Amino acid sequence: MKTEWIAVDWGTSHLRAWAMDGGAVLDSARSEQGMARLAKGEFQAALLALIESWLDDAPVDVIACGMVGARQGWVEAPYTAVPSAPVPDTPIRVPGTDPRIRAFVVPGLKQNAPPDVMRGEETQIAGFLDSHPNWDGVICLPGTHTKWAQVSANEVVSFRTFMTGELFDLLRGHSVLQHSVGDGWDTAAFAEAVEDTLSKPEQLAARLFGLRAADLLHAQDAGTARARLSGLLIGAELAASRPYWLGQQIAIIGAEELSAVYAQALQPQGAFVETADATQSTLAGLTRARNLTRQTA
Amino acid sequence: MKTEWIAVDWGTSHLRAWAMDGGAVLDSARSEQGMARLAKGEFQAALLALIESWLDDAPVDVIACGMVGARQGWVEAPYTAVPSAPVPDTPIRVPGTDPRIRAFVVPGLKQNAPPDVMRGEETQIAGFLDSHPNWDGVICLPGTHTKWAQVSANEVVSFRTFMTGELFDLLRGHSVLQHSVGDGWDTAAFAEAVEDTLSKPEQLAARLFGLRAADLLHAQDAGTARARLSGLLIGAELAASRPYWLGQQIAIIGAEELSAVYAQALQPQGAFVETADATQSTLAGLTRARNLTRQTA
């Protein structure tokens, strides 16, 4: 079947592309050529290396979202200020591309006060709303930098970013805790740690080194330590985002395993949580962005 | 003048030695041969390389404190459980040393619940108490892993460790904040950030990424960001250690610049703070440990 258009999710550390026919996936490809690895002039070559076999002479639309629209990206796609529809306008055209493609980048969202930014998650939110029209509630997008977005009347009203995933990776891989935090998991220890930071957020700073000391003095299991570290950090995120989720309808859009961990943290708080697949949301959002492109083409 | 004994401060990342005559320093030397760089059999050679010129045929006492007493160190010096005098007993003799030295390692302290450990700071506390007999209050020892110790009747009653320094270094050097946190300082921004986390500790997780976004959206100064990051993390530490310092006499033992930062954070809270020199405290504590060695020799 012929590739009608190409969907691209281009983040800091990854590049994923899908050959599309309308909303259906014909083929997919991925590489590690994320934005952080590429200099200004290297984006098109990194993409063509992945999609070359899908191209022929007639130009095909390429719709990309993510950090590819940052200042250091392929083309800067200036942020749209919230409140706003997640993907309100036609994406930004990349100038001077190979004649076989017409490339567009979806702009991110910004919030002036408190200052915050997102690139990529707005497309997933748009995709989620496409199948949940007039959905009101809060969307959690867990990842390296987890986003919480308050959504009403098909607009993102406000959002906050949490460095929870990055903090976990730094503490687990590069701090003194690396000697005590290993593989494995302990569901009860995770739940207890979430509850501990949620109820006593001021104690977070005192808990972290305790993971090392509990190993030295009491030979605490490395998987228990991993669950506890995750619980302490997600608990701190939930303490800070409580005004977002308390009493709200919550949707989690993310990788399956991580979404389940967030759902496990939220459920004891009496929260009603549904989950949505991250890739499906991205593709639905890019399809929506592509339709905007065609309306104005 | 003849070296009567040798004082050694041997941490994870550094090795410092002093040629001593009683409590007086005759000479000093340092290297980067910290515990983390050395395999089990390499400690003596690393030390001798530094102190060889101070030695002659008659054996001289070497008194060391710090991570050198860890399981992976020169000799394991098992922790003493609190409550305890900071240096209660004669240090642990290192077996099988070069005949020109008789080497001893000061044991650290441990607390079973909540689990915590220290190695090195107990010696500084002993040195501080040597010149402040019967001092009651709380001692803060800022550093990579800041310690807070409650001291009464010449004993350490309890203590807690905070990874504040290590968290700051990881976030500043290895997280997305590295692009927005630079050199320089902003005293008002620091004070504001401390106050912010002290009064709203549950908001800490929401503040960190804000340092990146404030740069992207409002071109926040990199020195202001540095002061804010430091203030947020020290504020979180003060929120967790409040039961230690509230209404107490406080002594800070640490590097001059870092001690001044902690004093600046504590003073608006109405705390009475005195500071003591870290090296002098270490040497006074090692002198005390050496006297214990001689009593039992």
pLDDT for position B201:
94
Mutate to test the interface with B, among A217, A229, A238 (most CBs of B within 10 A): A217
For the cut 80, the answer to whether the pLDDT of residue B297 exceeds it is: no
Residue B235 has pLDDT above 80, yes or no: yes
Model confidence at B151: pLDDT above 80: yes
Hey, what are B245's tokens?
């310092």
Q: Of A176, A141, A138, A181, whose CA–CA distance to A162 is shortest?
A: A141
Q: To the nearest whole number, what is the mean pLDDT of chain B?
A: 96
In one-letter notation, the amino acid at residue A140 is C
Query: Is A162 within 8 Å of B206 when comparing Cβ atoms?
Result: yes
pLDDT tens-digit profile, chain A (297 residues):
789 999 999 999 999 999 999 999 999 999 999 999 999 999 999 999 999 999 998 999 999 999 999 999 999 999 999 999 999 988 999 999 999 999 999 999 999 999 999 999 999 999 999 999 999 999 999 999 999 999 999 999 999 999 999 999 999 999 999 999 999 999 999 999 999 999 999 999 899 999 999 999 999 999 999 999 999 999 999 999 999 999 999 999 999 999 999 999 999 999 889 999 999 999 999 999 999 988 765
Please answer yes or no on whether B240 and A160 come within 8 Å at the CB atom: no
B171 contacts A170 by C-beta, under 8 angstroms:
yes
User: Percent helix, strand, coil in chain B (nearest 5)?
Assistant: 45, 25, 30
Is B181 or A297 the better-scoring residue by pLDDT?
A: B181
pLDDT digits (tens, 9 = 90+) for B239-295: 999 999 999 999 999 999 999 999 999 999 998 899 999 999 999 999 999 999 887
**pLDDT at res. A271:** 87
Tally of CB atoms within 10 A around B42? 12
> For A5-132+280-296, which CATH class?
alpha beta
CATH architecture assigned to A162-277: 2-Layer Sandwich (3.30)
Residue to substitute from B13, B147, B202, interface A, most A β-carbons within 10 A: B202
- Strands (E) located in chain A: 5-10, 15-21, 24-31, 60-65, 80-81, 92-93, 101-105, 109-111, 116-118, 137-141, 146-152, 155-162, 249-254, 272-277
- Percent of chain B residues past pLDDT 70, beyond the cut: 99
Q: Where are the domains of chain A?
A: 5-132+280-296, 162-277
The total number of residues shown for chain A amounts to 297
| Alpha carbon distance A72, B176 (integer Å) | 14
This prediction has a pTM of 0.95
Nearest to A145 by CA among B216, B256, B75, B117: B216
The pLDDT score that the predictor gives to residue B257 is 95
Percent of chain B scoring above 90 in pLDDT: 95
pLDDT of residue B1: 72
3-state secondary structure of B21: strand
Taking Cα atoms as reference points, which of A97, A93, A128 lies closest to residue A107? A93
Nearest by CB to A116, from B161, B162, B210: name it. B210
Gap from B44 CA to chain A (nearest CA, Å): 25
B219 touches chain A (CB under 8 A): no
Domain A162-277 in the same topology as domain A5-132+280-296: yes
Please give the single-letter amino acid code of residue B197: T
Tokens of residue A135, six digits:
């959905």
